Structure 1
């Protein structure tokens, strides 16, 4: 598994009646492929995994794998409360042809370090698929510490980390402790350029769902050492990227996709589409960004 590059945490598209809109989903995927993304992550927070049925997750995974037909890898997110459920999804992902897993600590239970490491090892030892650990203590309340990663080294298929601790220096700490043993992907849009400059291998991105060309351009320019050019795009992008670090990131990013013509704002309850002052404020950010969009 090549964990280097831009990996969209893809949104799940719905019709107004709440059913899956696979045509619009693949329209978005096609555009992102044209812009040069390196893989797709299904069933994350942006994918509204918590409100998808088991059958819908299976359908979404199977159809995406078949549609992409090996062009870029499909990575399935696992965010479960029970170890047996995580093991089920690891096996199902392998069966459906996914090429990797993104794995969160146990949900809905504040597990301690021993429990989290045991959980991660149980999933890793059950599958041949490569795994990216999602380290996001801000949103999910569990910090995967450097010492915990030291225990996970023995699981060869735990290959990477989605670094969302909000501490840029964690990239350096991981490199100092483990060298290149774990690939590091930034998971916070507003810290992406900073972490890439500090040596992160990739970017698990949110606003890429609406703005893939700019996201990929920043990644490529940083990798080419063209920091001034990357910084110019990044400064334009920051007001939009801040939509990714809000509890309503799903509604915000889906509204941006709609304005860009590659998505819709439809979400599943309990989420509701935006109204009133909040909608006006978010649309102002999006429309101003589109008006000032850099020519690449």
Structure 2
């Protein structure tokens, strides 16, 4: 059973220089996430270079991640397909491969109407027994899941959560005012992570967590414990790194950060290419500056036992 709360990394997919899955580095990163105390793993999202992955590769990643997590935290598979038929097939394959839940995007490439989007989501939800987090990101995908659409969608009992990425954090409050605990709201924008948690988001689907899992979880746990000033101190340090997530080259940026912390490589799958020139120097400067000033973290894992 998926507990829809906490920090859930949208992990990068690790590749070798020969463009095969790098399961050795994948294992190292997942183990670092688990050790830091994340609350779930999301595979095959935008950061996971989903559009370039073969279905067989997705299934390998699910099975490997299920093996590594040992049932301690849920493994969520992203579904981002061009057709309803394709999305249903992907959802069912993910369930068969052992995923504990799904993150579901609206149809890719085609800008569906509200009615088409609702019908699409319902068809996929009704095709699987897995619990589902909807992904609401009209900035990048040009389709918004409105409150009225969500009202229709919660007729599907397995639609449990939403990744809120409209960039309007007051939407966190609007969703909770209308649906209370029926829909669990996650923030999906790194640079609005702490703010969203403070106003009531129950979780954070994060990007820079891929390289800095402990810092991300520490912010979440401190906010949850109402130790806002301590969380803010870490968040201020983190912000230049978090801004690397809101870029078309977020995958390359975050993979460079993973190299710096020793839990990833720079290899991306074409058509993506590693950064070069002035932009590479700029991103490396952000990462190197952060590494030099990396904060000392409180004992956030035992925060509830501290009086």
Q: Same fold (TM over 0.5)?
A: yes
Cα shift at 1:66: 2.1
Structure 2 unaligned spans of 5+: 298-307
Cα shift at 1:174: 0.4
Deviations 1:168-206 (CA, angstroms, capped at 9, x unpaired) = 100110011111110000000000100000100000000
1:114 corresponds to which residue? 115
Instruction: Kindly indicate whether residue 135 of structure 2 is the aligned counterpart of residue 125 of structure 1.
Output: no
Cα shift at 1:107: 0.5
1:197 corresponds to which residue? 198
1:273 corresponds to which residue? 274
Cα shift at 1:82: 0.5
RMSD in angstroms over aligned alpha carbons?
A: 0.6
1:132-211, aligned counterparts within 5 Å?
Answer: 132-211=133-212
Structure 1 segments (4+ residues) deviating >3 Å: none
Deviations 1:64-115 (CA, angstroms, capped at 9, x unpaired) = 1122221211000000011011111111111111000000000010100000
1:253 corresponds to which residue? 254
Local SS of the residue matching 1:271: coil
Distance between the aligned counterparts of 1:153 and 1:71, measured in 2? 27
What TM-score results when the alignment is normalised by the length of structure 2? 0.95
Structure 1 unaligned spans of 5+: none
1:8-23, aligned counterparts within 5 Å?
Answer: 8-23=9-24
Distance between the aligned counterparts of 1:259 and 1:66, measured in 2? 26
Distance between the aligned counterparts of 2:15 and 2:205, measured in 1? 22
2:62 corresponds to which residue? 61
What TM-score results when the alignment is normalised by the length of structure 1? 0.99
- How many residues align? The count is 296
Contact 2:6–2:220 (CA under 8 A) maintained in structure 1: yes
Contact 1:65–1:96 (CA under 8 A) maintained in structure 2: no
1:232 corresponds to which residue? 233
Distance between the aligned counterparts of 1:278 and 1:263, measured in 2? 20
Distance between the aligned counterparts of 1:190 and 1:114, measured in 2? 31
Distance between the aligned counterparts of 2:267 and 2:84, measured in 1? 32
1:76-87, aligned counterparts within 5 Å?
Answer: 76-87=77-88
Local SS of the residue matching 1:61: helix
Local SS of the residue matching 1:179: helix
1:264 corresponds to which residue? 265
Distance between the aligned counterparts of 1:68 and 1:34, measured in 2? 11
Contact 1:8–1:40 (CA under 8 A) maintained in structure 2: yes
1:215-230, aligned counterparts within 5 Å?
Answer: 215-230=216-231
1:43-58, aligned counterparts within 5 Å?
Answer: 43-58=44-59
Distance between the aligned counterparts of 1:57 and 1:230, measured in 2? 35
Cα shift at 1:276: 0.9
Contact 1:218–1:230 (CA under 8 A) maintained in structure 2: yes
